Every structure is written in structure tokens, then in C-alpha cells.
Structure 1
Amino acid sequence: MKKELTPEQKADLRMKYEIAEELGLLDKITENGWKGLTSRESGRIGGIMGKRKRAQMQEGKNEKKADE
């Protein structure tokens, strides 16, 4: 039985699918699953996810400083 995803995991999964769609890989994933991607394609998705997460964290820090 699969565990329930945390809100953070759900957000990550949503972001992963959004990026895959932006890169034109969603059809490939739908047909073959994530294992059907090349390492280059998977790495590209992961790289973009990391970049966006860092930007979100930085944005959160900036908002926190503005509130002080």
C-alpha cells in the first residue's frame, strides 16, 4: 500500500509534471511512464525543478525580510 503524499511532495509532483509539459515530454511520460525518459530529459526536469525551488526559497526569504 502506498503512503499518502505530504503537501510538499504533492507540490513537487505537480511542479514535475508542469515542467515535463513545458518541455514537451508529457505525452512520452503518459505513454511510457517516467522510466521512458532518457537521463538527459530526466536531468533537465530535475535541474529546472531545483532552480525553481531555489527561486521560491529566495522569494520567501525576501518576503520575510520585508515583513520585519
Structure 2
Amino acid sequence: MSASAGGKPRRKKEETDEERRMRLLKEEAARELGLWDKVVAGGWGGLTAAESGRIGGVVARNARGLKDG
């Protein structure tokens, strides 16, 4: 666990079902676009704005598909 500014260890927040679904949609989109290796190597912050936007577009499309279907 990482320590906060006060020196007390912080507990990792438990992931909600909605956060888990969103994480899985993002990971699936990154794989679909061939960006997953880049995410694994450098984290989400290692992506360019254009790459992040492409992932966001795929996530939105897939989320709409889940909602409609």
C-alpha cells in the first residue's frame, strides 16, 4: 500500500461493478485497436490524445451496443 501525505497507508478503493465494466470496455477497445501492448508498457497516460480519443470512441460505440441489445 502506498502512504498518503500523513504517512498512513491508504487502502485501495474497491472497484464497483460500473467501474469494472468501464475498465473492461477500455481494455477491450485498446486490444481491438492494437494499443494494448502500449497501455501495458506505459499505462493509460502513455497514450497520445488521438489514441485515447479512438479508444473513447470504441468504448462509446460498444457501450451503446450493450445498452441497446
* TM-score, length basis structure 1: 0.78
Q: Which has the higher helix share?
A: 1
Alignment partner of 1:21 out of 21, 27, 31 = 31
Distance 2:42 2:60 in 1: 24
Aligned position for 1:50: 60
| Residues 11-44 of structure 1: CA deviation (Å, up to 9, x unaligned) | 1101111110111111111111111101010001
Matches within 5 A, 1:1-68: 1-59=11-69
Provide structure 2 residue ranges, at least 5 long, that are not aligned to the other structure.
1-10
Query: After the TM superposition, which segments of 4 or more aligned residues of structure 1 sit over 2 Å from their partners?
Result: none
Number of aligned residue pairs: give it.
59
Question: What's the TM-score, normalizing by structure 2?
Answer: 0.77
CA RMSD of aligned residues (A): 1.0
Distance in 2, matches of 1:22 and 1:56, equals: 17
Sequence identity percentage: 46
Unaligned runs of 5+ in 1: 60-68
The higher relative CO (CA closer than 8 Å, separation ≥ 6) is in 1
